[in-house]
Structure 1
Amino acid sequence: MEHWAAKKKNEEAENQFHRLPDDVVLNVFDKLSDIRCLCRCFLVSKRFSSLVARVQTVSINGVVRDSNETERKNPQGQGNCLLRILSRFLIKALKPRRSLHKPALSHPLRFTAPANGFLRVLKQIRSLNVDLASHFNPNKDSVFKWGAKFSAKHDSLTFLYAASLSKVTEPENEIIKVELMRQVFSFAALWLEILSGFVRGRPMVESITVSDSVNKGVEVCLGGKKLVECREAFNSDRLVSVDGLRENIRFGFVPVLQLPGSGYVMKGVAIINVKLYGGDDDSEADSAMLDAFAEEQGVFSEAIVQILENHKDRIKAFFRTEIHA
């Protein structure tokens, strides 16, 4: 009898959590937020699974995946399909035409959300935070930044990469332009794909933050009107056709970029602008690049201004740009 009473007492002590009201448990899950932990909690019981499905804040870390597996499982909407084609198209087009005298800058990039299937269960997400662990980290001195401009007039994304950022002008080392272009284009295209994957089909989401744990400067925060415009851009039937991709990519390369305002020098600077729609002229594209970094302070916004003012002749449609190793 005493053994039974002790056993019952222990069971009651272990089950105290189940006495908490649903709203309290749901608040705990919201604070937890990590998608791996939420997935484990989802499997505990029917009650937990019903509550986890209602969480509004989700964090995803270390997003890596096999793109072929995703294609087999996910419907190929035009937007995602175009971005996958863009990624492969650029990687193939920029494959070095001869052997290089220097190792590749980084490993081939592959990423997506392995938890994407579980995300479909979470229908009420309002805040989504994604931290990618990319392989794009050619050297410790490099910097990478990207920005977006979504509006009724034009929608595009701009990517800025510099092999180094320093206060002093150093002797210029040989930069392997072909490999650099391939890496930056690959990374840009894959960031577009993953952003589209999180934005499309989730009308309840009110804010999205996508960051890179390796490249700390790579972050985009979308919320409010900007997120609405971004979602409309990726869902729009005005997305360029596959054949139109060539004319909607502009690329510029500046070996050495002086930033007199901040006193810095950028070396091996690559700038990429990808238009989601056709029809914009050069002036609108320039405006979109400036607006994409309008909220930035310091070297990144200054770099865009300096490129457009002093090196605009270097920015050309990608497939009119001559590529030499």
Structure 2
Amino acid sequence: MGSVRPDPSSRIHPAPIDHFDRLPDSLLLLVFNKIGDVKALGRCCVVSRRFHSLVPQVENVVVRVDCVISDDDSSSSSSSSDKSRIAGPFSCLFRLVFGGIVKPLQALVQFLGPKRGTASDGLGTGSSSLFVGSGGDDDREMDQGGVTHHSPTQVLRNFNEIRFLRIELPDGELGIDDGVLLKWRADFGSTLDNCVILGASSVVNSKNSLVQESGGDGICVGGGADDNGIIPESFYTNGSLKLRVVWTISSLIAASARHYLLQPIIAEHKTLDSLVLTDADGQGVLCMNRDQLEELRVKPLSASSASKRTLVPALNMRLWYAPHLELPDGTVLKGATLVAIRPTEQSASKKEVSDGSWLLNAFQEPYGTAAKMLVKRRTYCLEMNSF
């Protein structure tokens, strides 16, 4: 009897091995935490059921806002490409809108292309809301393009264990002239804890340049003149002091508006250890640590009656000024100004930080060095009422 040969096409082949199945969940979560970006995490969710179940456990999340649209839809499209000038300090309250998104496996979302808008509302009177493009149920608003938008609270609700959250706006709220430096950092609890502002009327990035001209402050300075830390009389008469006051008020309003918008996220995510709201320009940074986040949860903030922002308390301010400040890397700041701000009620409280680390570590280099150099000069004290 002849033997029957097996049909090659009928052979049983082993199923392909998914090497990701061999990786422990802890290792995959480590990778997801390194990714951080919500767009990328949303895409990871559609890869497999396992990824879909692990991504909501990510502790480190970064949300990048695609575009900024004002509440005033009647603004002309021609103004959308221009920032508001710093001379109009109340022209920067935004409604933040993420691009349109889809729902991967009915959980997290991935962001699609942005839709550009305008930013022309007044900070003192405008209203502001955060929205994320989506399709779905409640808490939504329809954009002119027919895209339904949800608040970031709706999107981030899919994450159960966020500890470190960073939200990045596409640019800073304060439109300033080219060459002008304006940076701020503010720490909040239920209200403002402290704020540091660094400004300069112009910045020259050249080791070999010698500034010898009448700049934005109208002060003629040389390369290394010693002014003994005294503010020249012209500072008070040519509008330089007024400009610094505008910078200060504008920065405080921008910070308090950002703080107000974070309330729903803070209330929803009690696992948060750190929350940072910054912008791609590096203009302003709002920070909250775990104690400050908990303070806001148990002690509701005081909102401004004029707009959707946190009420700024009465303040004590210290100001340092240098007509000409040359940094070790060759960067030259003209009209360099540093303002350190704390609520008046903290002056004699235990919250007062005597070592000044919150001030000296507020900015990255080379501007951290600029702050250290400025605080060695003569200090001028100012006060500001609540607003």
> Shorter chain as normaliser: what TM range?
0.5 to 0.7
Task: Output aligned runs, 1:210-289, within 5 Å.
Answer: 210-215=277-282, 218-219=284-285, 227-237=289-299, 239-240=301-302, 242=304, 245=311, 247-248=313-314, 257-258=322-323, 265-267=333-335, 269=337, 271=339, 273=341, 275=343, 279-280=345-346
Cα offset, 1:122, TM superposition:
0.9
1:230 alignment partner AA: Q
What corresponds to 1:124 in structure 2? 161
Q: Which consecutive unaligned segments of at least 5 residues does structure 1 have?
A: 69-89, 95-105, 320-325
Conserved in 2, the CA contact under 8 Å of 1:209 and 1:220?
Answer: yes
**Which residue of 192, 199, 203 corresponds with 1:161?**
199
C-alpha contact 2:319 2:381 (8 A) present in aligned 1: no
% identical aligned pairs:
19
CA contact (8 A) 1:259 1:299 kept: no
In structure 2, runs of 5+ residues without a counterpart are 1-6, 72-88, 94-117, 122-127, 133-151, 205-209, 218-238, 363-367
Task: Give 3-state SS (helix, strand or coil) of 2:194's partner.
Answer: strand
**Pick aligned residue for 1:59 from 59, 62, 76:** 62
1:211-246 CA distances to partner (integer Å, 9 max, x unpaired)? 43212x644666xxxx12321342342744646936
Aligned-residue offset at 1:37? 1.4
CA shift at 1:150, angstroms?
A: 6.8
CA contact (8 A) 1:130 1:211 kept: yes
Matching residue within 300, 305, 310 for 2:371: 300
Instruction: Quote the offset at 1:36 in angstroms.
Output: 0.8
Structure 2 partner of 1:35: 38
Match of 1:91 in 2: 90
Aligned partners of 1:283, 1:299: CA distance in 2, in Å?
A: 28
Amino acid at match of 2:322: L
For 2:26 and 2:38, locate their aligned partners in 1 and report how far apart those are by CA, in whole Å.
19
RMSD between superposed Cα atoms in Å: 5.1
Q: Is the 8 A contact 2:187 2:286 kept in 1?
A: no
Match of 2:385 in 1: 317
The count of residues paired between Structure 1 and Structure 2 equals: 273
Query: In the aligned structure 1, how far is the partner of 2:11 from the partner of 2:160?
Result: 43
Q: Please say if residues 251 and 270 of structure 1, whose CA atoms lie closer than 8 Å, have aligned partners that are also in contact.
A: no
CA distance in 2, matches of 1:42, 1:111: 27
Distance verdict in 2 for CA 1:93–1:23, change over 3 Å: closer
Indicate which of 23, 47, 50 corresponds to 1:47. Answer: 50
Specify the structure having the higher radius of gyration (Cα).
2
Tell me which moved more, 283-292 or 54-63: 283-292
Structure 1 CA distance, aligned partners of 2:92 and 2:20? Answer: 57
Q: For residues 303 and 245 of structure 1, what CA distance do their matches in structure 2 show?
A: 29
- The residue correspondences of 1:63-78 to structure 2 (distance < 5 A) are 64=67
Match of 2:215 in 1: 172
CA-to-partner distance for each residue in 1:51-85, whole Å, 9 max, x for gaps? Answer: 111112222234655687xxxxxxxxxxxxxxxxx
Residue 202 (structure 1) aligns with: 269
CA distance in 1, matches of 2:345, 2:58: 41
Partner of 1:22 in structure 2? 25
What is the CA deviation profile of residues 119-144 of structure 1, one whole-angstrom value per residue up to 9, with x for unaligned ones?
11111122333333214452453333
| Separation in 1, partners of 2:270, 2:38 | 19
Is 140-149 or 259-268 further displaced after alignment?
A: 259-268
TM-score w.r.t. the length of structure 2 is 0.51
Q: Deviations over 1:268-310 (max 9, x none)?
A: 85848474xx73459999979955313354212444665xx44
- Matched to 1:229, the amino acid is D
In structure 2, do the counterparts of structure 1 residues 238 and 284 end up closer, same or farther at CA, with 3 Å as the change threshold? farther
- CA distance, structure 2, for counterparts of residue 18 and residue 53 of structure 1: 18
Q: Distance in 1 between matches of 2:199 and 2:263?
A: 21
